[in-house]
A and B are shown apart, each in its own frame.
Chain A
Amino acid sequence: MNRKSDLADGACFKRKRGFRLMGLNFNADGIVRGFFGGNAYLAILFLLFICIFLFKSAIGFIPGFRTELSEARISGIEAANHMNYQLVGYDALYTKVNQAFINEKRAKFGNLATLVPIYEEFESIIDDELEDKVDEYTEMDDSEEKQAAAIKLTTLVTKACGEVSTEELLKTIQSRLPQTTEISDNTYQKALQYAHKYALNDYETPDEINEIPALINDQMGAFNKAMDLIKTSDDELREIYQEIEKIATKTNITISDNRKNLASITSLKDELKDNANDSQVAQAIQTRIKELEPNIIEIDPAKNILPIYEIIAKHDPAADNMVNQFQKGINLLETAEITTEKSTILIHESSRLFQELKEIVTERKSLLAEWKHDKPVTMWNSITAFFFGSDWKTGSDRQSLYGLMPLFSGSLLISLVAMAIAVPLAIGAAIYVNQFANKRESRILKPSIEFIQTIPSVVLGLFGVLVVAGLLQGMSEVSWLSWIPGFPIQDRLNVLLAGILLAFMACPTIFTLAEDALNNVPKAYSEASLAMGANKLQTVLKIIVPASLSGIIAAVMLGFGRVIGETMVVLLVAGNKARIPDLSQGVGALGESVHTMTGIIAQEYGELEPGVLHWKALFMVGLVLFLISLSINSICQRVISRKTS
């Protein structure tokens, strides 16, 4: 038989038959090709779709935020904020001085003060164990029976309090007043007497107990006088702040409610037009409109602002008064006799903070002098208030603020810590596995490192909360490790913890890509180097790593992209405190809780109605995250392509 092979026949080179439509081949090959191509282009379509969705949802934020900001300005909230800012500074300072005062009091008058904690201990025993009895007694009508019950109740109180051993009692007292060494019988009996009074008098704390702090204060001399001055120094400013706050919030709420109600009515009226035929629905809509209409209160901002300006005129003397009186207090403090080291440190710190407060007051004074309620808020103001705002305060009853800075700084700090840990680890591992490890080693190492990637992030997050957080905190409290800056850490959930866990997640990404990059270095390079007499280590460090540097950089950047976009782990372990970390304390800032851009979206998206400003703000944050990831990726592409070209 004369058999011809397909090849000889040329069958495989023949054009397959099929029909063509609009320049596309509709034979089997064409369809398969089209399927693959379509899948690839689908990705671009999808990306485009996400971009449009994000922009569409976020775009209304800037004008919306502008409206809210200008409402805050017209109503005078902004002026109130300037005053509040000084008072917040005062509070921060006062709490320091107060701590010094309390510390000093405890050191000097511990024995007189022990009565209070002992009494409170008894009080809680009564609450926990004898509540029913006390209630029963209180509800009785006055009679002889009640007197008998009173005696019975007092014995019960004595018995219940007696069940706590003196040692146990002393231990609890010592946690508050460390220098207490013993509880005198006299004090114990007195506390017991007051506890009886408490039980018999419907849970009223006896006046004698309430007066003790004042008694102690009287004996503190110059310190007490200084405290009196400091305590009252802010009264005047606080008073005018409360006045301005009351007027401003009222105006602000009216303005924004009016805006919302008007929007509701407009949409209801539109609905009414569509439902004109359905009498039942139309009637319900009209009732609702009637319900809403009286809520719109005519308001004239120009008139409402007048009292605000009157109050602002009073501001400067009040603020000066606060500073002067505080200064007097501080001067008096210097003459006071201070015995404990802790109080001395606190007072020293207060003096330093006082200088800062003075600066704040001067700054806010000039801002208030320039402040005008009708200065327009521009789009640019709204944009800067978002991108550079230092407060993320949502769901507030007076003014919600959407400032990106606390979230951005949190995300960035966590990512930097994660990269500082992951980069040396992952690249070191990649170099070892690629260059030094024998086959058996790399057969074990490579898959194990890559396996880390498969751990779900929620599992890692829970592991962090329940295990690593405790370990880290325990370690930071060990005394011989206290030389490490930032130890002991402040918050259990913090930047360092999140950084460690994210580093663990980023390692496999960086490792795999860096190892690929090392693999791509032509064999000839290393062979040439070795032939020139360089040893293995020299070859690796001087030839192979530099040759694959662009690939390694790309690996690091992709790792960074993965870290900054991670949500679940940071949500669980970063502590979610929307506050810019205090970098002035150096490495200690790593022990603080922070909030992140990804975390805030996951946390606050929950029940928001689509379309409200807060919802749009979250999409703005999402957009920023998206742009960050996009730019990281495109930089990587460039780095890689520069190497190939």
Chain B
Amino acid sequence: MKLKSLKTVASAISASLALMSSVSAELIEIKGSDTLGAKLVPQLKAEYLKSNPKVTIDILAQGSGHAFSNLANDTADIGMSSREVKSTEEDTFAKKGQKLVEHVAAYDMIAVIVNENNPVKKLTLAQIEGIFTGSITDWSEVGGKAGSISVYTRNTSSGTYKSFSKLAMSKKDYGDKCQQLEGNQPICTEVSKNVNGIGYVGLAYAEGSLYKTVKVDGVSAKISKIAKYPLARKLYYYTVGEPKGEAAKLLTWMTTSDAASKIVSDIGFVPTPIAEAAIKKDTE
């Protein structure tokens, strides 16, 4: 908590300094989810500034919830979120006579990872559900080498935790043998070190030397398979009302331009245009 408040103070100082130094420059504040704000948005910012040097962009990534609190307090122009807005959050805006507008930032795929030495290559959704709800407890039951399964999950405040339960476990509760870890990287570390481990991470973390992804229902977690992969979800930007001015330009650039798409896919998300084209093609 201390760290967060320090960060806030630091960002406030830097923001006010930036304001003072370049009064003429336009300031865009982007706040919210760390899934988006840790790597992706900062890189998009760097690229965007190359062609728009007059704009100042501030990014603060503390979690999806902060997107809405900052938008409500008018301390952010764009909110980043790895989940859809909650009903209670919408109320806050309504109370002030405002309405939130949703923009799809990118598609993310949740990859299921196992240890490199685990012979299991594919799991069905039913098997994944069984493993994470605790009714399947041994690798031999899903075609692997006999050994009791260690399940690693994110913690309850994470958006991915919820998304995974919705997408892979038909909203059932996680089993009581799951170990809840603090982020994507700790899950990768534990799975790398435990031959009987299984966990899930965002696509950006799916490549690793000591662990590998398994195919889910016969589909591998690859960008080209977005339309068929069962564990795909959307990430969002939110604005209060339709975006205007520089923020609108930036949003359009981030969600539609080729340069932005390249950065999005380099980092390990699926760019919205590509994903939507693939899904459209698949439904035809």
What residues of A have a CB within 8 angstroms of the CB of B65 in the complex? 606-609
- Let me know if A284 is at the binding interface, CB within 8 A: yes
Measured between alpha carbons, how far is A203 from B181 in the docked complex, in Å? 34
> Which of B10-18, B23-31, B43-51, B88-96 lies on the face that meets chain A?
B88-96
What residues of B have a CB within 8 angstroms of the CB of A470 in the complex? 193
Decide yes or no: A281 and B143 within 8 Å by CB, A264-B88, A394-B156 being known contacts. Answer: no
> Which of B129-137, B198-206, B230-238, B247-255 lies on the face that meets chain A?
B129-137
Residue pairs across A and B with CB atoms within 8 Å: the count is: 157
> Which of A97-105, A410-418, A499-507 lies on the face that meets chain B?
A97-105
In the bound complex, do residue A391 and residue B145 qualify as a contact, i.e. CB atoms below 8 Å apart?
no
| Cβ-closest chain B residue relative to A390 | B176
A255–chain B nearest beta-carbon distance, Å:
16
B252–chain A nearest beta-carbon distance, Å:
26
In the bound complex, do residue A284 and residue B96 qualify as a contact, i.e. CB atoms below 8 Å apart?
yes
What residues of A have a CB within 8 angstroms of the CB of B178 in the complex? 577
> Which of A149-157, A372-380, A395-403, A422-430 lies on the face that meets chain B?
A395-403
In the bound complex, do residue A603 and residue B155 qualify as a contact, i.e. CB atoms below 8 Å apart?
yes
In the bound complex, do residue A397 and residue B176 qualify as a contact, i.e. CB atoms below 8 Å apart?
no
The main secondary structure of chain A at its interface with chain B is: helix
What residues of A have a CB within 8 angstroms of the CB of B176 in the complex? 391, 393, 406, 577-579
In the bound complex, do residue B97 and residue A284 qualify as a contact, i.e. CB atoms below 8 Å apart?
yes
Against A, the Cβ 8 Å flags (1 = close, 0 = not) of B263-277 are 000000000000000
Measured between alpha carbons, how far is A425 from B176 in the docked complex, in Å? 35
In the bound complex, do residue A577 and residue B148 qualify as a contact, i.e. CB atoms below 8 Å apart?
no
In the bound complex, do residue B179 and residue A268 qualify as a contact, i.e. CB atoms below 8 Å apart?
no
What residues of A have a CB within 8 angstroms of the CB of B162 in the complex? 395
Cross-chain contact of B194 among A281, A292, A465, A492 (Cβ < 8 A): A492
Measured between alpha carbons, how far is A417 from B173 in the docked complex, in Å? 31
In the bound complex, do residue B119 and residue A117 qualify as a contact, i.e. CB atoms below 8 Å apart?
yes
> Which of B53-61, B71-79, B103-111, B217-225 lies on the face that meets chain A?
B217-225
- Let me know if B8 is at the binding interface, CB within 8 A: no
B162–chain A nearest beta-carbon distance, Å:
7
A64–chain B nearest beta-carbon distance, Å:
15
| Cβ-closest chain A residue relative to B219 | A203
- Let me know if A287 is at the binding interface, CB within 8 A: yes
Against A, the Cβ 8 Å flags (1 = close, 0 = not) of B135-160 are 11110110111101010000111100
In the bound complex, do residue A576 and residue B122 qualify as a contact, i.e. CB atoms below 8 Å apart?
no
A287–chain B nearest beta-carbon distance, Å:
7
In the bound complex, do residue A281 and residue B96 qualify as a contact, i.e. CB atoms below 8 Å apart?
yes
A15–chain B nearest beta-carbon distance, Å:
48
The interface centre, meaning the residue of A88, A406, A576, A604 with most chain B CB atoms within 10 A of its CB, is A576
Contacts from A to B (Cβ < 8 Å): 88, 91-92, 94-95, 98-99, 102-103, 106, 116-117, 120-121, 123-124, 127, 131, 135, 172, 175-176, 203, 205, 260-261, 264, 267-268, 271, 278, 280-285, 287-288, 292, 342, 391, 393-398, 406, 465, 469-470, 473, 490-493, 571-572, 575-579, 593, 595, 603-609
Excluding A391-B176, A572-B182, A576-B179, 7 further A-B contacts by CB distance (< 8 Å) are A95-B141, A117-B119, A176-B143, A264-B87, A284-B97, A284-B98, A465-B186
In the bound complex, do residue B220 and residue A127 qualify as a contact, i.e. CB atoms below 8 Å apart?
yes
In the bound complex, do residue A607 and residue B63 qualify as a contact, i.e. CB atoms below 8 Å apart?
yes
By Cβ-Cβ distance, the 8 closest A-B pairs, closest first, are: A288-B94, A606-B157, A281-B97, A284-B97, A607-B65, A91-B135, A395-B156, A397-B171
Cross-chain contact of A264 among B91, B137, B172, B173 (Cβ < 8 A): B91
Selected A-B contacts with CB under 8 Å, 8 pairs: A98-B141, A106-B140, A116-B143, A117-B143, A278-B97, A284-B98, A285-B95, A578-B176
Measured between alpha carbons, how far is A517 from B162 in the docked complex, in Å? 53
In the bound complex, do residue A603 and residue B190 qualify as a contact, i.e. CB atoms below 8 Å apart?
no
What residues of A have a CB within 8 angstroms of the CB of B94 in the complex? 268, 284-285, 287-288
What residues of A have a CB within 8 angstroms of the CB of B148 in the complex? 490
What residues of B have a CB within 8 angstroms of the CB of A91 in the complex? 134-135
Cross-chain contact of B157 among A280, A469, A604 (Cβ < 8 A): A604
B18–chain A nearest beta-carbon distance, Å:
27
Decide yes or no: A603 and B157 within 8 Å by CB, A95-B141, A593-B179 being known contacts. Answer: yes
Measured between alpha carbons, how far is A491 from B173 in the docked complex, in Å? 22
Please provide the chain B residues from 155 to 170 with a CB less than 8 Å away from any CB of chain A in the complex.
Answer: 155-158, 161-162, 165
Measured between alpha carbons, how far is A283 from B220 in the docked complex, in Å? 49
| Cβ-closest chain A residue relative to B166 | A397
Decide yes or no: A398 and B173 within 8 Å by CB, A280-B97, A576-B155, A607-B157 being known contacts. Answer: yes
A223–chain B nearest beta-carbon distance, Å:
15
In the bound complex, do residue B136 and residue A95 qualify as a contact, i.e. CB atoms below 8 Å apart?
yes
Decide yes or no: A607 and B64 within 8 Å by CB, A99-B141, A395-B162, A571-B182 being known contacts. Answer: yes
What residues of A have a CB within 8 angstroms of the CB of B135 in the complex? 88, 91, 94-95
| Cβ-closest chain B residue relative to A594 | B179
Decide yes or no: A203 and B218 within 8 Å by CB, A91-B135, A491-B150 being known contacts. Answer: yes
Measured between alpha carbons, how far is A270 from B122 in the docked complex, in Å? 55
What residues of B have a CB within 8 angstroms of the CB of A603 in the complex? 155-157, 180, 182
B90–chain A nearest beta-carbon distance, Å:
7
Measured between alpha carbons, how far is A435 from B29 in the docked complex, in Å? 64
| Cβ-closest chain B residue relative to A283 | B97
What residues of B have a CB within 8 angstroms of the CB of A577 in the complex? 176-180
